[in-house]
Amino acid sequence: VQLQASGGGLVQAGGSLRLSCAVSAHFFTSYHMGWFRQAPGNEREFVAAISSSGGSRDYGDPVKGRFSISRDAKKNTVYLQMNHLRSEDTAVYYCAAGSVWTRVDRPQRIDYWGQGTLVTVSS
């Protein structure tokens, strides 16, 4: 199982960025997918999740109304569209896969992690 995250970078506050997570093809429809983030000195925080069918989505309170998660079955890729970015969104963002939808917002219940991609928002 491979999760390859990309798309991080430096952006000004108020700007937008889209993260991508490429997933192993045979694995893509078997797991619910999510994004977490971790800022220096902080615990890993739930950002967003999308169910294996794509029919359900969930978001952490700090990003509701600003971030959007989606998945493209043809490309075996999960996206995180981040709009209206704030300095407090600065963190390393991790792509994740979990088998239990009601637990996919908990880092300790994630089955697989991708490598992180750094997002820096300048104020």
The secondary structure element, H or E, covering residue 9 is strand 9-12
What residues pair up with 69 in beta bridges, in sequence order?
Answer: 80
Query: Looking up tokens 């997918």, which residue turns up?
Result: 33
Residue 60: closest CA among 47, 75, 43, 77:
47
What residues pair up with 70 in beta bridges, in sequence order?
Answer: 79
Over residues 57-107, the pLDDT tens digits come to 999 999 999 999 999 999 999 999 999 999 999 999 999 999 999 999 999
Over residues 46-57, the pLDDT tens digits come to 999 999 999 999
DSSP symbols for 46-88: EEEEE-TTS--EEE-GGGTTTEEEEEETTTTEEEEEE-S--GG
